[in-house]
Amino acid sequence: MKAVDITTRIRMTTRHILINCSAKDSRMKTTYTVPALLGLMLMSPLVLAHPGHEHASHAFTSGLLHPLTGLDHLVMLLGIGMLGAWQSRKGRTQLYIGTLGILFAGAVLGLITQISAGIEMVILASMFLIAAALFFSAKGWLPMIASLVLVMFHGWAHGLEMPAEGVFSFMPGMLIMASFIMATGFALGKTFQPKWLGAGSAAAAALIAVLG
């Protein structure tokens, strides 16, 4: 099946889901909506294109698209956005700003050190921990600090894949897209039950583990 046909089908199905969510019995439909949305995300050729991040350019647009080309990074940023949905306003602001800062710091460390041993395993573990935090509606400093520490390794992986010249062009684009992804996660966190979000995140992490 052509990529264009897949994209069209995804858009039509997503529209149908959103219409269903607006119905009076949306709580009941949530049971089917969350798995469907996750399925659509996993079907997307873009988010499954993570193996072999290749950036021939260090341009701003390349950085802008980068967080969308790896399902692991996408799931983590969505999870951070969801986690902030039930924190206090101050805690949520600290979490989101801290995430962007840690992403940048981690990317710089990855770029400088070029140490890659064990990074993928930590990234995988981080997604399961975020899924657990979502499932149990974790609040307070502990889950936020743990999330920020784990985000550093995602930034580290970005740094390993980033051209040295990209600090002032690639990185701003990546951070802007990360902000939009977290905003999407926040909207999801305000819409759906934490247990469904946690279960969905865990399923995505398991799929990533299987795909390698």
Section 15-19 average pLDDT: 47
| Of residues 209, 196, 171, 186, the one with CA closest to residue 60 | 171
Q: 34-43, 109-118, 131-140, 201-210: lowest mean pLDDT where?
A: 34-43
For residue 58, the model assigns a pLDDT of 55
Section 137-162 average pLDDT: 88
User: Cα(31)–Cα(192) distance, rounded to whole angstroms?
Assistant: 9
Tell which wins on pLDDT, 12 or 188: 188
Tokens of 16: 């149908």
Find how far residue 130's CA is from the centre of its chain. 11
For residue 101, the model assigns a pLDDT of 95
Query: Which residues, including other chains, have CB under 8 Å from residue 203's CB and lie 6 or more apart?
Result: 38
For residue 12, the model assigns a pLDDT of 53
| Percent of the chain predicted with pLDDT > 90 | 45
Instruction: Give the model confidence (pLDDT) of 91-121 as tens digits.
Output: 999 999 999 999 999 999 999 999 998 898 9
For residue 142, the model assigns a pLDDT of 83
For residue 41, the model assigns a pLDDT of 45
Average pLDDT, the chain: 78
Tell whether the model's pLDDT for residue 197 goes beyond 50.
yes
| Of residues 181, 169, 173, 175, the one with CA closest to residue 155 | 175
Spans of all domains in the chain: 58-211
| Percent of the chain predicted with pLDDT > 70 | 72
Tell which wins on pLDDT, 17 or 146: 146
Tell whether the model's pLDDT for residue 43 goes beyond 50.
no
For residue 154, the model assigns a pLDDT of 92
Instruction: Give the model confidence (pLDDT) of 58-84 as tens digits.
Output: 578 888 888 888 889 899 999 999 999
